[in-house]
Amino acid sequence: MRHYEDFTVGDTYRSAVGRTVTETDNLLFTMLALNTNELHFNEEAAKATEWGRILVNSTFTLALVLGLSVADTTQAGAVNLGWTEIRLPHPVFVGDTIWSETQVTAVRESHSRPEQGIVGVRTRGINQRGEVVCEFARSFLIGRRASAADSFPGTGEPWNV
Cβ–Cβ < 8 Å for 64, 132: no
| pLDDT(40) > 90 | yes
Provide mean pLDDT across the span 117-130.
98
- Judge whether 151 lies within some domain: no
Average pLDDT over residues 80-90: 97
Residue 93: CB atoms within 10 Å: 16
Amino acid (one-letter) located at 16: A
User: What three-state secondary structure class fits 154?
Assistant: coil
E strand map for the chain: 12-14, 19-20, 79-87, 97-109, 116-127, 132-143
DSSP sequence for 90-116: S---TT-EEEEEEEEEEEEE-SS-TTE
pTM for the full model? 0.89
Domain residues for 35? 4-146
Q: Is residue 37 part of a domain?
A: yes
Number of domains comprising the chain: 1
Average pLDDT of the chain?
A: 94
Q: Is 95 within a domain?
A: yes
Is 159 within the bounds of a domain?
A: no
Tell whether the model's pLDDT for residue 98 goes beyond 90: yes
Q: Let me know: does 5 contact 76? Beta carbons within 8 Å.
A: no
In a domain, 161, yes or no: no
The enclosing domain of 129 has a CATH number of 3.10.129.10
